[in-house]
Structure 1
Amino acid sequence: MFPYPSAEGLHVGNVYAFTGADIYGRFMAMQGKAVFEPMGFDAFGIHSENFAIKQGIHPRELTARNVKRFRETQLQRIGNRFCWNHEIQTTDPAYYKWTQWIFLQLFKAGLAVRKKAAVNWCPSCKTVLADEQVISGECERCNTIVIQRELEQWFFKITQYAQKLLDNLERLDWSEKVKTAQRNWIGRDEIDGTVQYHLRDWLISRQRYWGPPIPIIYCDRCGIVPVPEEQLPVQLPETENWLPQGTGNSPLADIPEFVNTTCPGCGGAARRETDVSDNFLDSAWYFLRYPCCDRADVPFDSAITAKWLPVDMYIGGAEHSVLHLLYSRFITMVLHDLGHIPFEEPFRRFRAHGLLTKQGGKMSKSKGNVVNPDGYIEEYGADTLRTYLMFLGPYDQGGDFCDRGIAGIRRFLDRVYQWVSKHKNTLQPNSPDLASQRRLHQTIHKISEDMQSLKYNTAIAALMSYFNVLQSKLSIAEVELKSYLLMLAPFAPHVTEELWQQLGESGSIHQQTFPQFEPEFLITEQVTVAVQINGRTRTTITVSPQASQQEAIAIARQTKAVQWYLKNQELGRVVYVPGRVINFVT
């Protein structure tokens, strides 16, 4: 999920989210997949504008400054494989041209309507809010008590898709808590045979400055007229009077050169819509733009879209369950039904990561518990921070950030570096002994399974455990050392890349194939089982711990001792304690 470029910059909770997604992307690339990890900035909206108001800086200037800080001093240093030549910004006219185009497609389909209604009004933000942006009666941005006002506003008819949004959840490979949140929000009820839903139409009008102008023109003769597509984008005008008015009108209403225009229908005098659209519309389709952001003539190229979309794996916060994730599904369904894209669900798989807390509370500037990652990257390196964050707890549950253990992760990576440097010129070319091969392939299997299911903390624990085994060996086989670096690479991309080069390997370690386990080596070493006749031990056999009773009995009956003692005896029953004893009772 692309971030708001706030002036505070990324905190470690953001790095936690991005690192977990990147590790999965790196792992899949090493499985031979073509992997595309783009990045962008969700830079329009109330959040950015409110901070600009607080700082007394124009949001256009502040946003550009914040984006630069995010990109160049933070995101480019955390070790993610972002595809920067496909970066998008929602404030770029080349992007919001197509946000406006999407509005027009809904308008032409009768799914975007203007109506007078009682709406949620935030007295502090001085704008209307969608139902989904009101949490326990308060504005989700500033926690001000929300009041009701009668205003004419633009709505998207998401209610027409309520049943499809509900039905499709059954076939989505998503975190169950997110699916449950959407089911509850859509809220289907049947009262006297009539189907009703809790879901209400999506209110998208905002009486603010910092957003894409809604592409509508009002004409006394023609009524409500859509801006012709060839005239997009309707650019957000430059103005120094951008503060919210609180009157129910956007600051754009006070810019005559913007408001006054010509009707595309009759050519007469007309007025532009002065509300801007909610920034959740910007983010409801951004994943469609990433692969085709270099195309100025279309919002998305059909061939490229068919190759890369829908998204194979989406990782983000569960707090977006009934905002971004629900809106994205709706917009995707509409574009599919209008024939613009060949799929109706945007994300094949969605996994909600856990919340990273500080002293038990969600990180927020108001609480004063936001942790800036920059100092940790400076002191310990990005690899250490990445590995430490993933080791805090299960990725889908999060954990409480406490930096007491980060030095231990740095020592672990230092030991790996020193160990490789020590053995790089004395590696044994032959395969290791059977016990070593078993341990190697069991580790590969364990880590592969954990990576696939985002159980990063247990994968790191397995890496540490296996490293202790390798350190205790007198000689190291080449396959053991290289396999270890390849398994560590998604977590610590910088140090493993350097060590790979020290080994004299050509090409990046991240373009190599992840080690593959061989099933025959997953069988644990055999165990010794006592063989008894009427309770007295007469011999022993060795079997796999997984051996069935039938297999163990068959092996035991082949021994000379059992054959001799059972000769001319009538066998009553056989007792088998797996891995310990077989007792033949005559």
Structure 2
Amino acid sequence: MPPCFTYDHRTVEARWQSVWQQTQLYEVDLATTAHPFYNLMMFPYPSAEGLHVGNVYAFTGADIYGRFMAMQGRAVLQPMGFDAFGIHSENFAIKQGVHPGKLTARNIQRFRETQLKRIGNRFCWNHEIQTTDISYYKWTQWIFLQLFKVGLAVRKKATVNWCPSCKTVLADEQVIGGECERCNTLTIGRELEQWFFKITQYAQRLLDNLEQLDWSEKVKTAQRNWIGYSETDDTVQYHLRDWLISRQRYWGPPIPIIYCEVCGTVPVPEEQLPVQLPETENWLPQGTGNSPLADIPEFVNTTCPCCGSAARRETDVSDNFLDSAWYFLRYPSSDRSDVPFDPAITAKWLPVDMYIGGAEHSVLHLLYSRFITMVLHDLGYIPFEEPFRRFRAHGLLTKQGAKISKSKGNVVNPDRYIEEYGADTLRTYLMFLGPYDQGGDFSDRGIAGMRRFLERVYQWVLKHQNHLQPHPPDLASQQRLHQTIHKVSEDIQSLKYNTVIAALMSYFKMLQAKLSIAEVELKSYLLMLAPFAPHVTEELWQQLGESGSIHQQKFPQFDAQLLITEQVTVTVQVNGRTRTTINLSPNASQEEAIAAARHTQAIQRHLNNQEVHRAVYVPGRILNFVT
């Protein structure tokens, strides 16, 4: 094989990632662009282990859908950020003996620069958010204040779930089978004064709205079961309890409340936000029921904003599920420092058009997000009460039949596979493992096979690039092409990515067997493959001498008539004399028959310089041109 036919994925992928970044290919002018489409994926915790292959699986599936919608003419906003506050990040910082602020910044840098920018997603980095940024958590605190003002944020004494290992309280939703969902420690009951959001006031509405949502059914079922509507002795009851948001930890947004002996419980005035998380080296959880913030006098001691008396600040921080309950509202307005979300931009881009994520977030994140959205709608801040038009839950990956986890020692690090095989190979292989909503089993042998497939495509295109036929292929080839376009288009919209790739492999096998390739066949193939393998298709598009990115082209459209495989032979006459025959669908109209006949060389020759007075068409039998 000549050197120019060798597919060097490292060079190709680095080149196009650089070009996309420099040209801002995936950025969107949110204010002026038409046909908006908000494509959302769940932002990750920036843990020190980095992205795992399950993240790449989730993100790739969402990215393919976003790329497909962009090729349908939609202006796609596909942002990414970091859910960087909370117990998960703080526990790892404790384990490493590093301040969570330093560790989080380091982890985010690694996630963004060495992983997320290498997997080939069309991320809009201009709208990146981090929940630990003051510019973000100022508005998390603002949301708390809005709920407090209308009586939906209350402090009360209650028996709560206490995790002795994490040394904090947990919401009911964070206790699985009596154990802490983070560390699997058995929780105990403890009576403490805590802050709650009164989500129970929205229980029936949260339940009723599920009927109208275009979401994965298993997620809707999980929410119905958690809300738990029941009737006993003509009294309505719910399983749902108020959302406990207090955390006796350091790594989170301070709850914006002040306690005054004269005025009582006082909200921090909005103009004094944010209540900044203070720097301290004494950030380890105490286990006393108090946050480490309680031991910082310069933070605790303040003055009452109402009467000016000496007062003290609330020292609990809010749960990171509050951070993620509204992040989708912040992305499009991340450049605004004066408001949490721009009203015009929010009305234009939201609700989210497509949200893809894990079913394990069915209750916690998705239920909380719906609640916060409903409250903000009721308070007049946003014009919709459900945040996500469509939600699809992806499946889980296994290795050798077992769930991928550190405890089983079968964690798959995507970095190694991107380096060895390329991001395009990893993306396409992950989507081929099985139905996207079910997952599949990861194997090294399988990914090597996918690499060979992409190499064959690369070599085949370069072999034929200077020998393409400009005219359309024969009818049978046209039918096969349009059947493939139809299959690929329908299955991408249904997230049936494994069957899309199977169809592309089958069609490619047919193309390889042909002696000559029409230009439309080769270009259509690259366009259909582009959402899955964005780097190699971009490279080949440029090799063909095309201007502009392949990712800004229109996705191939199928002709419904060419999907019909049943054909009849129609005799074509000029002034009653047979000149040729054409193959048509039995249901072809006179206009379609005339167009097909005029496309043949014989009819073009016999009608040359003649005026057709009329055409007589007997469906399925004869077409006669009268000149």
Task: Identify whether the pair has TM-score above 0.5, normalized to the shorter chain.
Answer: yes
5 Å matches for 1:417-566?
417-526=458-567
Q: C-alpha separation between the residues in 1 aligned to 2:225 and 2:522?
A: 50
Q: C-alpha separation between the residues in 2 aligned to 1:373 and 1:51?
A: 21
Q: 1:124 is matched with which residue: 151, 161, 165?
A: 165
Q: 2:435 is matched with which residue: 363, 380, 394?
A: 394
Kept in 2, the 8 Å contact 1:497–1:508? The answer is yes
Q: 1:316 is matched with which residue: 338, 342, 357?
A: 357
Give the equivalent residue in structure 1 for 2:93.
52
AA matched with 1:203? L
Give the equivalent residue in structure 1 for 2:49.
8
In the comparison of the two structures, how many residue pairs are matched?
Answer: 534
Per the TM alignment, residue 415 of structure 1 is displaced from its structure 2 partner at its CA by 0.6
Q: 1:167 is matched with which residue: 193, 198, 208?
A: 208
Q: C-alpha separation between the residues in 2 aligned to 1:469 and 1:364?
A: 41
Kept in 2, the 8 Å contact 1:524–1:545? The answer is no
Give the equivalent residue in structure 2 for 1:533.
none
Q: C-alpha separation between the residues in 2 aligned to 1:225 and 1:363?
A: 47
| Structure 2 residue 305 is the aligned partner of structure 1 residue 264 | yes
Q: C-alpha separation between the residues in 2 aligned to 1:402 and 1:330?
A: 41
5 Å matches for 1:276-355?
276-355=317-396
Give the equivalent residue in structure 1 for 2:7.
none
Per the TM alignment, residue 403 of structure 1 is displaced from its structure 2 partner at its CA by 1.7
Q: C-alpha separation between the residues in 2 aligned to 1:233 and 1:366?
A: 40
Q: C-alpha separation between the residues in 1 aligned to 2:243 and 2:523?
A: 53
Q: C-alpha separation between the residues in 2 aligned to 1:543 and 1:486?
A: 28
Q: 2:224 is matched with which residue: 167, 183, 196?
A: 183
Q: C-alpha separation between the residues in 2 aligned to 1:72 and 1:404?
A: 28
Give deviations 1:373-392, integer Å, cap 9, x for gaps: 00100011100000000000
> Runs of at least 4 residues of structure 1 off by over 6 A?
542-547
Q: C-alpha separation between the residues in 2 aligned to 1:234 and 1:524?
A: 68
Q: C-alpha separation between the residues in 1 aligned to 2:337 and 2:128?
A: 14
Q: C-alpha separation between the residues in 1 aligned to 2:104 and 2:399?
A: 27
Give the equivalent residue in structure 2 for 1:152.
193
Q: State the SS of the aligned residue for 1:116.
A: strand
AA matched with 2:261? D
Give the equivalent residue in structure 2 for 1:565.
none
Q: TM-score, normalised by structure 1?
A: 0.90
Uncovered stretches (5+) of structure 2, i.e. residues with no partner: 1-41, 570-582, 589-627
AA matched with 1:383? D
AA matched with 1:312? D
Q: 2:104 is matched with which residue: 55, 63, 72?
A: 63
Per the TM alignment, residue 527 of structure 1 is displaced from its structure 2 partner at its CA by 9.0
Per the TM alignment, residue 238 of structure 1 is displaced from its structure 2 partner at its CA by 0.2
Per the TM alignment, residue 526 of structure 1 is displaced from its structure 2 partner at its CA by 4.0
Give the equivalent residue in structure 1 for 2:449.
408
Q: C-alpha separation between the residues in 2 aligned to 1:429 and 1:492?
A: 26
Q: 1:360 is matched with which residue: 401, 405, 414?
A: 401
Give the equivalent residue in structure 2 for 1:255.
296
5 Å matches for 1:210-225?
210-225=251-266
AA matched with 1:99? T
Give the equivalent residue in structure 2 for 1:18.
59
Q: C-alpha separation between the residues in 2 aligned to 1:135 and 1:336?
A: 31
AA matched with 1:382? A
Per the TM alignment, residue 361 of structure 1 is displaced from its structure 2 partner at its CA by 2.9
AA matched with 1:356? L
Per the TM alignment, residue 545 of structure 1 is displaced from its structure 2 partner at its CA by 10
Q: 2:82 is matched with which residue: 41, 45, 48?
A: 41
AA matched with 2:562? F
Give the equivalent residue in structure 1 for 2:152.
111
Q: State the SS of the aligned residue for 2:98.
A: coil
| Structure 2 residue 116 is the aligned partner of structure 1 residue 75 | yes
Per the TM alignment, residue 503 of structure 1 is displaced from its structure 2 partner at its CA by 0.6
Q: State the SS of the aligned residue for 1:153.
A: strand
Per the TM alignment, residue 356 of structure 1 is displaced from its structure 2 partner at its CA by 1.0
Give the equivalent residue in structure 2 for 1:233.
274
Q: State the SS of the aligned residue for 1:315.
A: strand
- Per the alignment, do residues 191 and 95 of structure 1 end up closer, same or farther by CA in structure 2, a change over 3 Å counting? same
Give deviations 1:220-258, integer Å, cap 9, x for gaps: 000000000000000000000000000000000000000
Kept in 1, the 8 Å contact 2:561–2:585? The answer is no
Kept in 2, the 8 Å contact 1:332–1:344? The answer is yes
